[in-house]
Amino acid sequence: MAKKKCPECPKGAPKWMTTFSDMTTLLLTFFVLLLSMANFDKVKIEQSFGILAGSSGIMNNPSVTPLSQMNIVSKRSIKDTVSKTEEQVESQIKSMMQAQNMDSMVSVVKTDKGLSVRILDSALFKPGSSELMPQAGPILDKIINIVKDSSYYINIEGHTDDTGSPDLNWRLSSDRALSVISYFVKANFNPVRLSASGYGQYHPILPNITEQNRSMNRRVEINMVTPEFAESGKSSF
């Protein structure tokens, strides 16, 4: 019988792999020798690891503040900051009014939104007009300078008394609010923080039964709205 042929053996790794393996082993042996001959300073190593641990925020016995308490502290801090700003702005505007003898024409009141500066129409406009008079400039300039660097949003409202046509009163109050807002924009006040509203005769602060009351109702209100209130969606912003 004929002998069966022996199947071919599978080819091994390339010959260069043997040389590469030898070289790798020699390099490993060389670095192990270097490591064994090195002299380590244990104190410096411990100090270095200590510095790394501190910079990574690793602390002994770290304290954890509940999220609910963090929110309370944050809201309280914001409220305190806004309150201080209101007091400062209110004080500055009142000082300006006294310096210009305008206590009877301009008043400052606190609202649930922030602060409101009420200016009688006779300090800004001629009767029945929405064009600002020259003497209105210094008043508005003072207010702009006081609130320009604050975080307030500004909503400007126009109001009339109940004399004349309601439609005309709507238009007059809106046009007056827009005249004031245009003045703010020309003074480089950020337009994103501005809005205007016209309410005609429908938001009086006094009953329209005497001429003196009507003169108080004909006004422009510059409402300084806190960012917290503006972003809550409760205001015009």
Q: Are 218 and 120 in contact (CB under 8 A)?
A: yes
- What's the mean per-residue pLDDT of the chain? 80
Q: Are 191 and 147 in contact (CB under 8 A)?
A: no
Q: What is the pLDDT of residue 100?
A: 79
Q: Percent of the chain, pLDDT > 70?
A: 69
Q: Does residue 28 carry a pLDDT above 60? A: yes
Sheet holding 219-225, edge to edge: 106-110, 114-120, 219-225, 153-159, 194-198
Q: What is the pLDDT of residue 124?
A: 97
Kindly tell me the sign of the dihedral angle through the C-alpha atoms of 52, 54, 60, 62.
negative
Q: What is the pLDDT of residues 30-66, one digit of tens each?
A: 777 777 666 655 555 555 555 445 544 444 555 554 5
d(CA 199, CA 31): 86
Residue range 74-231 forms a domain whose CATH class is: alpha beta
Within 148-203, residue ranges assigned H as helices are 166-186
Sorted by sequence, the CB contacts under 8 Å of residue 171 that are 6+ apart come out as 198
Q: What is the pLDDT of residues 111-121, one digit of tens each?
A: 888 899 999 99
Q: What is the pLDDT of residue 9?
A: 62
Return the higher-pLDDT residue of 12 and 177. 177
d(CA 134, CA 207): 30
C-beta pairs of 91-99 under 8 Å, 24+ apart in sequence: 92/146, 93/117, 93/142, 93/143, 93/146, 96/142, 96/143, 96/146
Q: What is the pLDDT of residues 131-165, one digit of tens each?
A: 999 999 999 999 999 998 888 999 999 999 999 99
Residue 27 burial by CB count (10 A; 0-12/13-18/19+): exposed, middle or buried? exposed
d(CA 140, CA 184): 8
Q: What is the pLDDT of residue 13?
A: 62
Return the higher-pLDDT residue of 191 and 26. 191
Question: Tokens in use for 64?
Answer: 């954890």
Sorted by sequence, the CB contacts under 8 Å of residue 100 that are 6+ apart come out as 138, 139, 142
Q: What is the pLDDT of residues 64-109, one digit of tens each?
A: 545 444 444 444 444 444 445 788 888 888 888 888 788 889 999 9
Q: What is the pLDDT of residue 56?
A: 47
Q: What is the pLDDT of residue 50?
A: 58
Q: Which of 149, 174, 160, 161 is nearest to 224 (CA)?
A: 149
pTM for the predicted model, two decimal places: 0.64
